[in-house]
Amino acid sequence: MEKFIDSKKAMLLIKDNDVVAVSGFAGLAVPESLLKAVEKRYLESGSPKDLTLMFAATSSTYL
């Protein structure tokens, strides 16, 4: 199995009603190409729909 895949391949793994978790900090290191690919696919086909997006970021020195 590949350790890294591009946004087009990753986007195809996302199905309706999935929970998608991404990482980054205040806009840095966010997988923008993946999010844009998911948006484009949705606008063209209506899927994936009803997604839950989890995005965690903190400025705490304790986490």
5-60 per-position pLDDT tens digit: 998 899 999 999 999 998 877 667 788 899 999 999 999 999 999 999 988 776 66
Structure confidence at residue 52 (pLDDT) = 96
Distance between CA atoms of 14 and 9, rounded to whole angstroms? 10
| pLDDT level of residue 63 (50, 70, 90 thresholds) | low
Q: In sequence order, what are the residues at sequence separation of 6 or more whose Cβ sits closer than 8 angstroms to the Cβ of residue 33?
A: 6, 7
Structure confidence at residue 47 (pLDDT) = 97
Distance between CA atoms of 25 and 18, rounded to whole angstroms? 22
> How many other β-carbons are positioned within 10 Å of the β-carbon of residue 12?
13
Give pTM, 2 decimals: 0.77
